Amino acid sequence: MAFQRVGILSIGEMGYHWARLLASHGVEVLTYTKGRSEVTCKRAENAGARSVPSMARLVSQSDLVVSVVVPSGAKRVAAKVAKALVKAGRKDLLFLDANATSPMTAREIERLLSPASANFVDGCIIGSAAKVGKGTVVYASGPQAARIRALEESGFSIRVLGPEIGQASAFKIVYAGLTKGLQGLFVELLIGARKFGLLDEILKQYEESFPGLVGKVASSIAALPVHAGRRAEEMDELNRTFHHHGLKAIMAPATQKVLKSIASLDAGTASETGERTGNLLETLELFFHRGLLQKKD
């Protein structure tokens, strides 16, 4: 049965597109914006989400609550939801954590929600926010994961990975290692090409040697002025997961370093509509003039 009311925490770029798709299928979208930025509040309004006065109200009225925040905020959101559930006396809420976190973090979130009798689903999102409902896939795992299939009635593509908490989280961060790794590698190499006066020539050769690859990564690079910090956190989650399982990650910390360097430029402004602006060449030029990768004396 389709969900009638879905709570989204919070309405960032991904949350915006979730809210838009849900609303277009007649689902009422709830959110809680206390303490959030003016941009986030405006984005929620533009997405058609109704902001409720308390977290307790949100968990009381929602059939499903979806957490889509930066990795470092995932446990904090889950703790607030757990507290609100106890306050509201609500049991058996279905809670989907769709963040790019480690399997260890997913299990910690499950433990946070357990005293409140919430039904926890470990989830992840593969694909861009703009393609939610048009190719982006939501993966889920855990004993209650099959219940998320109800989102298919609202235009989402859902795939269940298995019955264990942590499977979807592990899937996401391994996938993110590729996508963010390509972004970091391309930025480093193309900044170098720009420095050597060979940017156009190397882009043409990349396209000849690897048709379509630059085009697939270009929009993600254009989003880095806003999202590099969050993506750096994803690489930290990947690094910690490898370490936890006795593996030594090399590429993940290197990618994290590039992404943190981009985030430190403070060169992006979040959109009130959840839409991305800019293109690959404009973004590279911005990074180049801000001194990205320049050695400091």
The predicted-structure confidence for 124-158, as pLDDT tens digits, reads as follows 999 999 999 999 999 999 999 999 999 999 999 99
Q: Average pLDDT of the chain?
A: 95
pLDDT number for residue 37: 83
What confidence score (pLDDT) does residue 289 get?
A: 96
Token pair of 239 as six digits: 């690094």
What is this structure's pTM?
0.93
Average pLDDT, integer, range 15-21: 96
The reported pLDDT for the residue numbered 270 is 74
Integer Cα distance of 184 and 296 in angstroms: 20
Cβ neighbours around 89 below 10 Å, total: 8
Give the pLDDT score at 152: 98
Q: Find out whether 109 and 237 touch, Cβ atoms under 8 Å.
A: no
Residue pair 16/47 in contact (Cβ under 8 Å)? The answer is yes
Backbone region of residue 221 per phi and psi (left: phi > 0; alpha: psi in -120 to 50; beta: other values): alpha
Beta-sheet pairing, 64-67 with 5-9: parallel
Domain 170-289: state its class: mainly alpha
> How many other C-beta atoms lie within 10 A of the C-beta of residue 244?
11
> Domain map of the chain by residue range?
5-163, 170-289
50 pLDDT band, cuts 50/70/90, is very high
pLDDT of residue 274: 63
Q: Can you give the pLDDT at residue 4?
A: 97
Please give the class, per CATH, of domain 5-163: alpha beta
pLDDT at 277: 73
The answer, yes or no, to whether residue 260 has pLDDT greater than 70, is yes
